Amino acid sequence: MKVAIVASDMPHHTVHAEAMAQGLGRHGIASTVYPDHLIPDEPVVACWGWRLGERLRAMGKDVLLMERGFIDRMNYCSLGWNGLNNRAQRRWLPINGCRFENLFGRMLRPWSADGDYALIIGQVAGDMAIKGVHIADWYAEAARQALKRFAMPVKFRPHPMAIAFGQREHVNGAETLYGDLQPALERAMVVITYNSNAGVDAVLAGRPTLSFDAGSMAWPVTAHEFVIPGYEPDRATWAEQRLRLATHGSL
């Protein structure tokens, strides 16, 4: 079998394409790296981004999707077959069970439902993760439900890339909260997300979290209605099973 790897000339695409090729080579699998304006003939393709991956999948190819990792996003790459995030068809590789603990165990903070506000997490309009969803309408409904159900202030944190792209969302009933994600999570009693990967950060930070799309990587350890869970989910098992491919050159 030969695998095609499709990547742009963006530095992080190039780095992970090279890691993919090296990893495949260690398993005796030949690969060729192609620029992202070419559609390869190979039936198995590793590519960056579901916008391209969806096209390749529609052509009948098996697609190993590369995306930013779910944790330590600037350094790690996530991998999934034929879908984005939790919709990928996972084919787990034999990985030492201590890998997550050794690399990221320090990020699993104590569980706590103490906090001062409900936090709605913003996403980037036009991103493939929210394809088919009018996200501004979703924010508005989430704010209404949070105010009604939780009787506490509601804050909205826009995605930094949305701000960079000039997407200026104002959510009625919610105060806009700028700045880094971790400080915003620390005082949140509940975190509300459609399917943002910030839901992963929230669960790792020990915050009760709500997600509303099965594509969320935090789906198994979050609630899906406007009720704050009264128990801690099995975060350790979820982290080991769902996040363990977020590593350099996992193949």
Q: What are phi and psi of 76, to 5 degrees?
A: -120, 160
pLDDT tens digit sequence for 47-82: 998 999 999 999 999 999 998 878 777 777 888 899
- Mean local confidence (pLDDT), 174-197: 95
pLDDT at 102: 65
Which domains does the chain show, CATH number per domain?
A: 2-96 (3.40.50), 112-231 (3.40.50.2000)
Q: Give the start-end residues of each E strand in 69-141.
A: 77-81, 117-121
pLDDT tens digit sequence for 4-19: 999 998 998 999 999 9
Query: Which is higher by pLDDT, 184 or 93?
Result: 184
Q: What span, in angstroms and rounded, lies between the C-alpha atoms of 117 and 23?
A: 44
Q: What span, in angstroms and rounded, lies between the C-alpha atoms of 63 and 4?
A: 10
Q: pTM of the prediction?
A: 0.79
pLDDT at 247: 41
- Mean local confidence (pLDDT), 15-25: 91
Q: What span, in angstroms and rounded, lies between the C-alpha atoms of 56 and 85?
A: 17
pLDDT at 101: 65
Cβ–Cβ < 8 Å for 154, 231: no
